[in-house]
A and B are shown apart, each in its own frame.
Chain A
Amino acid sequence: MQCQICKKNSATIHLTEIADGVRTEMHLCEQCAQEEGVAVKSQIPLNELLSSLLASQPADDDIFDDSTQKTSCPNCGFTLEQFRKDAALGCPYDYEVFEKSLLPLIEKAHNGKTYHCGKVPSRTPGDTKKQIEVATLRQQLETAVKSEKYELAAELRDKIERLE
C-alpha cells in the first residue's frame, strides 16, 4: 500500500480514528508520518522504560502504609528513593525488603512473569529445585499448548504430576 501523502513510499504506519461515530483511516510512510507528527517510536530503551515505570509508582508514604515494609534496607541502607535515581538495587536482600514496591516493576519488565524458571545453582536445596523445575515445566506446557503441540503438552503434564 502506498503512502497517502507522498504517494511514493510504501505505507508502514496505519492509523484508524473514530470520532463522533465516523471512522477515518490513514496510511503513511515513516517519513510522512514523522512530518505529520504521528511517528511511532521504534524502541523504548530499557532505562527509559524503567524510569517511566518508577515515575508512575506511588510516593514512599503510600508504599509504606504497611508497617512491615521498611524505608531502608537493614543490610545496605538502600532506599527506594535511590532506586528511582539509579534504577539499580543496593544488595540482594532488597528484593525481599522492598518486594511489595518492586513486584509491579518486575512484572512489567518481564512480560507479566514474577517467578523464576530455568537454571538453579547446584547447591540449592532439593525442595527449592523441585519447585523451580515445576515452574519451568509449567512454562513449557503453556508454550506447547499455545503452539498446539499436544503430544508434548501431555508429556509435560505427566512430568509435572509426577513431581508434584
Chain B
Amino acid sequence: MKLTDISSDINEWFDGSGPQADIVISSRIRLARNLAGHKFLSHCSSEERAEILNQLKETLMSLDLGDKVSYISVDKASSLDRHFLVERHLISRHHAFGKGPRGAVIADRESFTAMINEEDHLRIQVLKGGLQLRCCAEQINKIDDMIEQKVHYAFNPRYGYLTACPTNVGTGIRVSVMLHLPALKMTDQIEKFFTAAKDMNLAVRGLFGEGTEAAGDFYQISNQTTLGISEADIVSNFEDAVIPEIIGYENAARGKLLAKDIDILDDKISRAMALLKNAHLISSQEALFLLSHLRLGINMHDRMGASTPAIERLCTLKSADAATDTPNTVSITTINRLFMLTLPAHLQLNCGKALDSNDRDVLRAKIIRSALNQDT
C-alpha cells in the first residue's frame, strides 16, 4: 500500500454512511495483547523488540483477514508519513513517535489495523462508520482468535490478559465512539456531558487536533475499566445505553436551536459559510471549527428536515464532486472530505512536497474555496 494511494480520499468509516452517522462518526474497538515469555516493551532490548516485531508481523501477514493487508515499518517511515497515519487514525501518536523497532499492519479498506510494539506488543483495532460496536466486536474477536492460534498470549486467570500498564489489564479492550456534538456545545451543555461521562467512569477527549482539545466539536468517548467487566457487557453498555443517550441529548439540543435559537444557529452557519468561501489563509483549527457548523446545518436539513434561511442557502450551495468534477449540492461527504483532506499531513502528501505552516494555510483555504464555490 502506498500512502499516496489513500491520501486523496477519505476512509470508508468517514464517508457519512453507517447507523446514526449524523452524530456518531465511527465506532472503534481495540484489544491490547502481549506475548507470553517476553518482557514488556519498556524492559526489552532492541534485539528482543525486533524479535517480537518479526514474530507478530509474520503471524499477522499470514492471516486471512478478507481484505489485502500491508505492512508499514513505522520506525523507518518519514515523519510526514507517520503524521499522516495518525491523522488517518490508523496508528496512535504514541506509536508514530515512539522508539525502537515497530510496525503497523493495515487492511486495504482501513477498517483493521494492528500496531506492533506500541505500548504493548500488539494492539489490534477495528474501525467502522456510525454506531456499529457489535459488528466491530465480532470482527475483532475473530481476528484475535486467529492470532491466538499462532502465538501464546500473556494471560493470568485472575487478571486476564496482562498488559504493560495495569489500567488496561483484564480484557485489554478499549471501546471508543467518535461523536460530533456541535449543538451541545452551542447550547453550552457540553460540560454536562463531560461530567456525566466522568461519573460513568468513561474518558472523553478531542478527536482531531492536539491532545485533549476537541477541535470541530468532535469527541471520542471510551471505557476506562477493563477488569471485572466482560467485553460483551462493555459493548452493550455503550451501544444500548450510553451512546443512544448522548445522541438523544444532541438531538434535543438541535431541536432546541431550531425551536428557540434560530438566530444563533443561522449566525454560526452563515459566518462559517462566509469565511470558508472567502478566506485565503485558514488554519487547521479554524477550518475544523467552521466546517463543524456546516456539517451541523446539512445534517439538520437531511435528518430533521430543518429549513432556516442559512440552512437553505447552505444546502443549495454547489460543490465539486471529486469523482466526476461536476458540481453537486453540498453533502455530508463533501464536508467530511474537507475535514480530512485539509489536515496538515494530508495536504502535504497530496501536493507531493513539504509545506510550512503558512503555505498549508494558503492551500487549505484554496481547496475549501474551490469546493464550496462551484456556483460562482
* A residues with CB within 8 A of B: 9-10, 12, 29-30, 40, 42-46, 50, 75-78, 86-92, 95-96, 102, 105-106, 109-124, 128, 131-132, 135-136, 139-140, 143
- Could you list some 21 contacts between A and B, CB below 8 A? A12-B188, A43-B204, A44-B198, A50-B167, A78-B43, A87-B165, A89-B164, A90-B43, A91-B38, A91-B40, A91-B43, A92-B34, A106-B159, A113-B170, A116-B228, A117-B229, A118-B171, A122-B145, A122-B149, A123-B152, A135-B228
Chain-A contact segment, one of B69-77, B219-227, B318-326: B219-227
User: CB distance B224 to A88 under 8 Å?
Assistant: no
A30, A109, A114, A135: which contacts B167 (Cβ < 8 A)?
A109
Contacts of A106 in B (CB 8 A): 159, 166, 169, 227
Q: Are B155 and A43 in contact (CB under 8 A)?
A: no
Q: Bound complex: CA of A46 vs CA of B168, how far in Å?
A: 11
A residues near B34, Cβ cutoff 8 Å: 92
Contact A96 B148 (CB under 8 A): no
| Residues of chain B lying within 8 A (CB to CB) of residue A128 | 157
> In the complex, what residues of A have CB within 8 A of residue B119's CB?
88
CB distance from B198 to the nearest CB of A (A): 6
Known contacts A88-B42, A89-B165: A96-B203 contact under CB 8 Å: no
**B227 contacts A114, CB within 8 Å?**
yes
Determine the distance from Cα of A76 to Cα of B37 in the docked complex, in whole angstroms.
Answer: 11
Q: Which of A86, A91, A113, A114 is the most central at the interface, judged by chain B CB atoms within 10 Å of its CB?
A: A91
- 10 nearest interchain CB pairs? A113-B228, A116-B160, A118-B230, A42-B194, A92-B154, A110-B227, A90-B43, A91-B39, A92-B162, A128-B157
A140 to B119, CA, bound (A): 31
In the complex, chain A residues whose CB is within 8 Å of the CB of B154: 92
Contact, CB under 8 Å: B225 / A110: yes
Q: Which residues of B contact A10 (CB under 8 A)?
A: 188
Residues of B within 8 A of A115 (CB): 158, 227-228
Map CB proximity to A onto B153-189 as digits: 1 under 8 Å, 0 otherwise. 1111111111011110111010000000000000011
Complex partner residue of A43 from B36, B157, B198, CB under 8 angstroms: B198
Q: Answer yes or no: B231 CB below 8 A from chain A CBs.
A: yes
Pairwise interchain contact B170-A30, C-beta atoms closer than 8 A: no
**Shortest Cβ gap from A96 to chain B (Å):** 7
B46 on interface, CB distance cutoff 8 Å: no
Interface pair B195/A121, CB less than 8 Å apart? no
Residue ID in chain B nearest A90 by CB atoms? B43
A114 to B229, CA, bound (A): 10
Is B5's CB within 8 Å of the partner chain A?
no
**Cβ B39 vs Cβ A116 within 8 A:** no
**Is there a chain A Cβ closer than 8 Å to B353's Cβ?**
no
Contacts of B167 in A (CB 8 A): 46, 50, 109
Please pick, from A12, A75, A110, A123, the residue contacting B170 in the complex, using a CB distance under 8 A. Answer: A110
Assembly CA distance A106 to B169 (angstroms):
9
Residues of the A chain whose Cβ atoms lie less than 8 Å from the Cβ of B148: 121-123
Option from B40, B189, B191, B229 in Cβ contact (under 8 Å) with A139: B229
B328 is an interface residue with CB less than 8 A from chain A: no
Indicate which residue in A92, A110, A122, A131 contacts B36 across the interface (CB closer than 8 Å).
Answer: A92
Given A106-B166, A121-B148, output 16 extra A-B contacts at Cβ < 8 Å.
A12-B188, A12-B195, A29-B188, A40-B195, A43-B205, A46-B203, A89-B164, A90-B42, A92-B162, A109-B225, A110-B225, A110-B227, A111-B201, A115-B227, A123-B152, A124-B155
**Using Cβ atoms and an 8 Å threshold, which residues of chain A touch B197?**
43
Q: Which residues of the partner chain A approach B40 to less than 8 Å between Cβ atoms?
A: 76, 88-92
CB contacts (< 8 Å) of A95 on chain B: these are: 156, 159, 162, 166, 169
B232 within 8 A of A: yes
